[in-house]
Structures are given as C-alpha cells and as structure tokens.
Structure 1
C-alpha cells in the first residue's frame, strides 16, 4: 500500500483552503500530490490511500474538482470527530431551524437573513454551490459562525464576543462538541463526555481514548491520532509532500517507515533546507519538480540519498491559435522581477513595439489582487512616461487631436493598448491565456514548471536567460545574455514564420519527454526503492 500525505493547507494552518465562490482565487489548488494520485488512480495497479492531516469539511468537492473524487482517503479529523458518513449530501439552508418571522434577501453574492428588520445571518456558498458557512449576528456584530461539512451536517461552530473570535468547537455528526480550540492560546480541550476517537483500518473500527484532556496545540492532537493509525500499517510506504507545517510531525511519526519526499514550486523555501536535512536524509527517495530544484536539494542531503526530477505536469499536443490572430502576443511574466530590471525590459519591448505595429505585450502575473495589478501597471507606466513613449499604449484613450492641415474638423486618433495585464492564478486560466500567445519572454531566472510545460503543449517558443529541461536554444527557445538582445530575440520568432514554425516542431519533439507514459515510468523507477 502506498500512502500519500498531501499539503493541502490554508496558508500555514491545519485547515483547508476552500473559499467563497465570488472571491478571486489567490493561489492554485493543484500540486504534485494531485498529479501523483491521478497517475496512480488511472494508470498504475497499486493500492493507495490519501492520509489527510488537516481539517477539510469540503474535501469531497475538492477531490471532484481535481478529477480524483473516488480516490480512497483517511481523514484525521474524521477520526477525531467520529464521522461515519462518506458521501456528499445536499444541505439546504431552508432545512435549518430559523426563528419565526425570518426573511431572506438574495444578493448576487450571498443570502442574508433579516429578523425584525435587523441582520440576523449571512449564508455563504462555495464554488460548486455548496453551503459553506453561516455567520450569525447580534445588533449587527457577528456572534457565531457555523461551518458545514459537504456530507450534510454542522462540522464546527465558532463563538465570537464583541466581534472577536473566542473559541471553536469541533462537532460530531449529532451536534455534540468533541474538542474546543481556544482562539488566543490555541489550547485544545477534549470533551470528557465523549473522550474517544475512531481508527478505521481495512474495515475494522476501534475506539481509542485520548491520552490527555488538554493539549497545547492542534498539532499534538493530530500527531496522537495519526500515530494510532500508523500502528495499523505494516510494510507500507509513504509519499509525503514537503511542507513547513507538517515536516516536524512527520519526522517524528515516520522514523521507522519507508517514505519519499516530494518538492513542488515555492511551497518550501530552499534556503531552509538545512533545517530539515535529517528528515530528508532518512527518506528513501527525493522527487523534485525541476532539475534546478533537484540540484539545490542535492547540495544539502547526503550523497547516498537518490534524487530525481519528475514533472508534475504532462504534455499534451494542443497547439494554440496565435497564428490565427491579427496581433502577435508576447507573454511577459513579471512576478519576482526586480523593479530596475522590469524598467529595462519594458524599455526594450517598447522600442520593439515601435517597429512592429502588430505586437502586443501581455504582462503575466499570478498575483490576484487589484492592488497587485495597479502596482505592476504603474511601474510600466513610469517607464513609458519617462522615455516619452505613447502613454495610450497602457491607458486606453479616445483623445481627439486636430488634423495637420489645420482644418476645422477634428480628427479622432485611436491608439490601441499595447500592454495588457493578464492575472492568471489557476491552471485553467493560464492555459487559456497561453492559447493566444505567440512567444514567451521569461527573464525571471526561475523554473515555472506549469507555464513551461503548457507552452510546449501549446507550441509557444520561449526566450530566456538560462536553459532548463524544457528549453532548447534555437529550437523551442532563444537564449539571450542581456536585455539589449530582447528586440532581436522577439524579432527572431515574430518576424519570421519559418523560425516560429521550426519552434513549433521543436515543441512537439520536446514534448515527447514529458508524456504521461514517461512520467509513469519514472515513478515506477522511484517505487522500486521501496520494495
């Protein structure tokens, strides 16, 4: 049996990242564990199970969005709260007990309940239309928040005093509180009227009493329950996502177990690797999402620990439509680029725009807030303004100017916007954006695995200052040494259809190295170390 221990956390807390449907996503839900589960679920005849350590009342919806709804799992908080249900159940707010005289107001975002003209409650929904929570108010101040499990019951209730969170009760299906978490101290208190938790292993269930009545924090509770589950396992292996929240707990719990560590993008800061060196050295294998990440890990771990880079994304031939458009789009990722460097890059691109009237620069960022967008575009505007480029390239304008022959009639000059901001957080929006891009100008100096793999799938060439396993100079890419070569490199692909078509062919050939079959073979090689 293979057990996956994911890192599906909200920031750095033992909670899921489910959010209200109308709020803009601030991060992607996808990670390497999801891809691994997809590979195992669809292509490999190996028994596996997800071991979920965090509180996730909407887990079933999350798994459905990731196309792994039927993946088997064990939930630590289900064990703590002694939840028996397994299937999604529709729970309507109409079925709840409301005071007599309640009135519902249906806004475009949420449902607000009024009692005697005063706000009594607000019902919030998730991305799939499932009821997530209900906030209740007294004299316009929040007093209680109920979180609903997608299996049809109240999972937690948080009590507020004067609008400030006081404590949270984790409930059983019958509404009894099982444990209470103090908001200020984080101390956990176990209800002595129901002092047990359930461990269900291979269909056999046993009730185990908590060792203590009070715990200093949630991690201590999770560790105790998780240890009880691990005692049931025998010759099983674990694939664990490296995350700062649970790395200490896993180091204590998996000492005598075979396990594989996996790294994904920026989830763990590589400069902190020294602090988890012992955990990494005890692993059977380390898997990273890029060669560059693997090289950084190898500098820290012992030489006898095997490492391999396996892409968490596979390539699929799905060429974009950029050649069908009347404009030539240049994708410019700007996250993590220094302000001075961005200034120089924009200057060089603006010079190129003077020569190529069809070119457009799509400024690409994964930062989702309006404030982020404003900061980025203001920096670009500063460069254009100081170098006397047309400001209408960034600010749309229908300004009218007088004609040159001094006629009384005014002639309207329409200047199209040449710098467009694309805020793309999740994989779907990134893929949609790339579908219309003619070339990527990525000078960040880091490996953006999803962007690069998708670019190969879409047949979009890339300009870069360094090479990686997703890049072939004068194939699907163009290697430059400094910013003064930006115009030449962009011109190489945009001004010559022959060069761009050759890059398309190169993308197709390079994509063969990252197909599903190749990823499966790589994982089979890794798993042999656990036998």
Structure 2
C-alpha cells in the first residue's frame, strides 16, 4: 500500500479545515503535489490511500474537484469522531429545526434567517453550494457556529460567550461530542468520558499528542512494514510521519513555496530518515541539493527525484478544434500600468484578425474590474473600429453604435475566477496563455502545460522552454511577435503541443513510478 499525506493546512489554526466560502474560493490552490503523485500511482493500479490529518468536513467535495472521488481515505478526525463512509448527502437548510416565525432573506453572499427584525442566523455555503456552516446570534453577537459535514450531518459546534469563541465540540453522527477543543485560556483537548473510541488520556495539551496517539493505533491496525508513505514536506507534520512510521520507507515532496528552506535539526532529521526526496522544479532541486551539501550529506543526493506536476483534468490539445484564436491573459501578476502598455498590441491584432478573442482573467477580489472595463471601452472608442469589439448590450445588434449606446464586449471578456474548474473550462478552448508577471501564477502554468497550450512569459520557469512550448519575452520585445508565432498557421502551435506531450511522458509512461520504486528498493513487485 502507498499512503499519501497531503499538507492541506491553514496558518491560524494549523489542524483546522481549509474550506473557503463559495465567493472567495481562489484564495488558495487546491491542486498540488499530493494530487499529482496520487494519480500517478492510481493510474498504475497500485493500492493507494490518503491520510488526512486535519479537520476537513467538506473533504468529499475537495476530492471530487480533483477527480479523486473513489480515493480510499483515512481521516484522523473521522477516527476521533467515530465516523465512517464517504458517501455525500446534501442537507437542505430549510429542513433543519428552526424557531417559529423564521423567514429567509437571500443576499448575494449568504442566506439570513430573520426572526422579526432581528438576525437569528446567517447560513453560509461552500463552493459547490453545500451547506457549510450556520452562525447563530444572541443579542446581536455570535452565539454558536454549526459546521456541517458534506456527508449530511452536523460535524462540530463552536460555543461563544459574549461574542467570543470558548470551545469547539467535535461530534459523532448522533450529535454526541467526542473531544472538546478549548479556544480560550490554556489550550487543551478534553475527551468525553462516554466517547465512542478508546483514548489513552482524558486530556491532551496539544493536537500533536493526540494525532501521534491515533496514528500509532492506525498503524497497529492497518500498516505493514512493506507499506510506503509519500508525504508532502511540511514542518507541521514531518516529525509525526518520521516518528510514527519510522520502520517504513518514506518519501517527502517539496512543492512550490510551501517549505521554508533553512538547514535546521528537523530538516537534517528528514534528510537522514527519508528514502526519497521529491521536488517539482529545477529551482527546488537546486535548493535541496545545496541544503544536502551544506549539511554534509552529499552521499544522499541519490535520493533526489524531480517531477513536474500535471493536472489530468485538462484535455490535451483540445483547443485546436476551435476556430477562434482565444488568448487567456492572466492580469493579477502585473500592475495596471503594465497591463495598459501591453493591451494595444493585442487590440491591434484583434482588429486585423477577427478570429482573435481576448479574455482578461483575474483571481484577486480587490481588482477594479469595472474600472478596467471602462478603460478598455474608452481605448476602443478612441483608437479602434468600435464595431470590431463592441455590440449593443440589449439586443446583440452590432449596428448603430454611438457613444450614448449601452454596449458590451463582443470578442473580449473580463472574468474573475474563484476556482480551478473555471480555469480548466476556459483553457479547454484557449490557444495561447499570457502571464507577464515576475512570478507567474503557478496553477496557470501547470494547467497550461497540462492542456498543451503555449505560454508567453517574461521570466524563465521550469514549465516553459523558449520557442518550444512558449515564449520568453525580453525587455523591449513586441508582444505581437510571439502571438504571430503561434497564431499564423498551426505548425508552431502543434510543435508546442508535441513538446508538452513529451514533457508529460514520464507521467504517462510509468517511468516515474519505476524510478521511485528503484530508489525505494522495491523492485517491480
């Protein structure tokens, strides 16, 4: 069995859930190295299991988004709460027990339960529309917060006093609290004397103590010495994994900016005990190489393996079947002034070629998209054939447009995305991606290469090779040049697609799995 341990954590309460409300879900990327590695092994027919160490009441939908619905999961909090099964069951909030006379008021972001003129509760939803939590009020202050599991039951309950959170109860399916986490004063976790599970202590002074205990019980019941653990490298759980599964082969994966690099005792311990060290980029490989040499462990360099992540949810090369030449321009990584310097080159080409479409994509909630729309319309009115870019807003006609006409874009769009699925849908019909920031968006790069779409960047990254699967724009270069390179005929675009397929060959051929088994001394069995 291969066990995969993700690092789906947050900073404020390290072992707490990471679910976002539906309207601000792009505050973090959910695709990561664990998703990538899990799929490599699953595709090869290996026995796999996810170990989830933090509280994740909406886990099933997270897995659903990543095409991991059938994944076998062991969840620490399911174990603590004595919860079994993975079947999702939606809850209709109207079917819950509400006081007499409650009415529901729908706002753009939540549903407010009113009792007379007073707010009794606010009902919040996760990205998929699932009931996430209900916050109730007493004398205009928060009284309780009810968190719901996506399998259809109340999962935990936070109690407040005078608007301040006091403690959180984690419940079994019958609503009986199993452990209670203090949120004020000295931290402790209290165990219900009538809890369903057997605990070694009645009280714990840290989650780490309790997690260590439950992992050891899990190990006794389920793990053999032949089982392998592939863990996201994260200081939050590295020592737990190393200590509890000391006798098992282990790999640790370094991804993006998750790991804060410093050669300390914990990192040295990881170097010595890990059997495999996985990195996602050449930059990460250099950092790890430097750290190993600096710590005097040059002999451990053979443990290193670099694998670029690919998101298999995207359809490789599908956009070549679409007649429109759509440009996906990610704008969050550059300033508004920089964007204004690049837009005229694209608009010039759009006026010359009616097949070119432009989508300006944004994730940030604070970006003034309305202001950008106004700027673009003014730019078009002043410098371009208006009918080539705008149409009448009410009936779709492109005739009789003047400055008093209410218009909308015809071949240009400005969109704020809140989840990866929206990015995936758009890239399915995109021919070219542009991200001109000093630090290009990581998921945009991963998704683009996974779809075989060439990218125009201003900096060299592990995901782009100049004139092979993209273009590195030098200072002073005309943006029109690389756009022409990929839009004038299909030759260069197809070469980019072939190059992307070759870069993905390690992923699809099983070569990575073979390499890892060799490093782990597993052979092919």
Structure 2 length as normaliser, TM-score? Answer: 0.78
Alpha-carbon distance, 1:457 to partner: 5.4
Alpha-carbon distance, 1:144 to partner: 0.9
Alpha-carbon distance, 1:168 to partner: 1.2
| Counterpart position of 1:107 | 106
Alpha-carbon distance, 1:362 to partner: 4.3
Deviation per CA, 1:314-338, whole angstroms, max 9, x where unpaired? 574333169623xx6544434445x
Alpha-carbon distance, 1:55 to partner: 0.8
Following the alignment from structure 1 to structure 2, what is the Cα–Cα distance between the partners of residues 456 and 485? 23
Deviation per CA, 1:379-411, whole angstroms, max 9, x where unpaired? x979x99xxx86999xx999xxxxxxxxxxx96
Following the alignment from structure 2 to structure 1, what is the Cα–Cα distance between the partners of residues 328 and 203? 56
Alpha-carbon distance, 1:239 to partner: 0.6
Question: Bigger CA drift: 449-458 or 10-19?
Answer: 449-458
Following the alignment from structure 1 to structure 2, what is the Cα–Cα distance between the partners of residues 376 and 278? 51
Deviation per CA, 1:352-397, whole angstroms, max 9, x where unpaired? 64576356664444x331x13469959x979x99xxx86999xx99
- Are the equivalent residues in 2 in contact too, given 1:475–1:503 (CA < 8 A)? no
Aligned in 2, Cα 1:93/1:512: closer, same or farther, shift over 3 Å?
Answer: same
Aligned in 2, Cα 1:225/1:459: closer, same or farther, shift over 3 Å?
Answer: closer
Give the 5 Å matches for 1:109-508.
Answer: 110-115=110-115, 118-185=118-185, 187-191=187-191, 193-194=193-194, 198=197, 207-210=198-201, 213-215=203-205, 217-232=206-221, 233-235=223-225, 236-269=227-260, 271-272=261-262, 276-281=266-271, 282-301=273-292, 302-303=297-298, 304-305=300-301, 306-313=303-310, 314=312, 316-320=315-319, 324-325=323-324, 329-337=326-334, 339=335, 343=337, 346-347=340-341, 349-350=343-344, 353-354=347-348, 357-358=351-352, 362-365=359-362, 367-369=363-365, 371-373=366-368, 377=372, 412=403, 421-444=414-437, 450-456=443-449, 458-465=451-458, 467=460, 470-494=463-487, 497-498=488-489, 500-508=490-498
Alpha-carbon distance, 1:76 to partner: 1.1
| Counterpart position of 1:522 | 512
- Are the equivalent residues in 2 in contact too, given 1:319–1:457 (CA < 8 A)? no
Three-state SS of the structure 2 residue aligned to 1:484 is coil
| Counterpart position of 1:27 | 28
- Are the equivalent residues in 1 in contact too, given 2:469–2:499 (CA < 8 A)? no
Alpha-carbon distance, 1:279 to partner: 4.4
Alpha-carbon distance, 1:86 to partner: 5.2
Tell me, which stretches of 5 or more residues in structure 1 are unaligned?
Answer: 199-206, 399-409
- Are the equivalent residues in 2 in contact too, given 1:273–1:297 (CA < 8 A)? no
Following the alignment from structure 2 to structure 1, what is the Cα–Cα distance between the partners of residues 339 and 125? 43
Alpha-carbon distance, 1:133 to partner: 2.2
Tell me, which stretches of 5 or more residues in structure 2 are unaligned?
Answer: 392-400
- Are the equivalent residues in 1 in contact too, given 2:65–2:421 (CA < 8 A)? no
- Are the equivalent residues in 2 in contact too, given 1:241–1:263 (CA < 8 A)? yes
Question: Bigger CA drift: 444-453 or 285-294?
Answer: 444-453
Deviation per CA, 1:180-229, whole angstroms, max 9, x where unpaired? 222234612313523x674xxxxxxxx3432x5241x3333223322333
Following the alignment from structure 1 to structure 2, what is the Cα–Cα distance between the partners of residues 266 and 139? 44
Following the alignment from structure 1 to structure 2, what is the Cα–Cα distance between the partners of residues 391 and 246? 57
Three-state SS of the structure 1 residue aligned to 2:55 is coil
Alpha-carbon distance, 1:105 to partner: 1.9
| Counterpart position of 1:54 | 54
Alpha-carbon distance, 1:276 to partner: 4.9
Aligned in 2, Cα 1:103/1:446: closer, same or farther, shift over 3 Å?
Answer: closer
Alpha-carbon distance, 1:526 to partner: 0.7
Three-state SS of the structure 2 residue aligned to 1:523 is helix
Alpha-carbon distance, 1:240 to partner: 0.5
Alpha-carbon distance, 1:170 to partner: 1.8
- Are the equivalent residues in 2 in contact too, given 1:50–1:73 (CA < 8 A)? yes
Q: Give the CA RMSD over aligned residues.
A: 4.1
Alpha-carbon distance, 1:286 to partner: 1.7
Deviation per CA, 1:11-68, whole angstroms, max 9, x where unpaired? 5531222244455542332222223333333x23322221111012222333233332
Alpha-carbon distance, 1:424 to partner: 3.6
Deviation per CA, 1:89-113, whole angstroms, max 9, x where unpaired? 45444554444x2433252665544
Aligned in 2, Cα 1:460/1:58: closer, same or farther, shift over 3 Å?
Answer: closer
Three-state SS of the structure 1 residue aligned to 2:77 is helix
Three-state SS of the structure 1 residue aligned to 2:319 is coil
- Are the equivalent residues in 1 in contact too, given 2:24–2:418 (CA < 8 A)? no
Following the alignment from structure 2 to structure 1, what is the Cα–Cα distance between the partners of residues 184 and 458? 48
Following the alignment from structure 2 to structure 1, what is the Cα–Cα distance between the partners of residues 136 and 154? 14
Alpha-carbon distance, 1:166 to partner: 1.9
- Are the equivalent residues in 2 in contact too, given 1:58–1:150 (CA < 8 A)? yes
Structure 1 length as normaliser, TM-score? Answer: 0.77
Alpha-carbon distance, 1:514 to partner: 0.6
Three-state SS of the structure 1 residue aligned to 2:318 is coil
Following the alignment from structure 2 to structure 1, what is the Cα–Cα distance between the partners of residues 84 and 339? 57
| Counterpart position of 1:201 | none
- Are the equivalent residues in 2 in contact too, given 1:258–1:283 (CA < 8 A)? yes
Deviation per CA, 1:125-180, whole angstroms, max 9, x where unpaired? 43444432222222332211111223443221111122222221222333332222
